[in-house]
Structure 1
């Protein structure tokens, strides 16, 4: 018998609340990483524009999700003109 999951986070994390938080953080981290990649800036230059430090940005780029909070990631994106929207729905 095989189990199906809607995301990798649901498979890894048994707690639905924690899985939801991990999903949100990972999406934000991907956006920050894409910004850095597309900007052509060095990590130091990008960190300055994102309103963070180079070591903090490096945590994002290296996928260190445990070191990244939702509020910090939203603030980084907002600092470079991104508008972060949240879509909330009730799980069946």
Structure 2
């Protein structure tokens, strides 16, 4: 029995042919960053939801990867409310034209 192994693209949503794969990848990265910060702060979901200006069920969905109804702008706002700075850089790289990349700096 032989199995073929394929290399992933680095975006699981794209590999699975999900609509708006780049946006979903970005949202997943943002949700992970938000989750990490909330865990480090030791906040309950109720406390965090109040701090982030959303309902607890919506926060719970976001942290479980169900973020289709939450905009990237809202997720960025959550990071700002958690004390993170947001820098958006628009540029052109020869190696990967049209690439969407997000980086996160250290905790404050």
TM bin, normalised by shorter chain, reads 0.7 to 0.9
Q: What is the total number of aligned residue pairs between the two structures?
A: 90
Which has more radius of gyration?
Answer: 2
Distance 1:61 1:53, change over 3 A: same
The residue aligned with 1:81 is: 83
Question: Which blocks of at least 5 consecutive residues in structure 2 are unaligned?
Answer: 98-108
The residue aligned with 2:67 is: 65
TM-score (norm 1): 0.79
SS in 1 for 2:68: helix
TM-score (norm 2): 0.69
Aligned alpha-carbon RMSD (Å): 2.1
Shift of 1:23: 1.2
1:7 pairs with 11, 19, 35, which one? 11
Question: Which blocks of at least 5 consecutive residues in structure 1 are unaligned?
Answer: none
C-alpha distance in 2, partners of 1:14/1:62?
A: 17
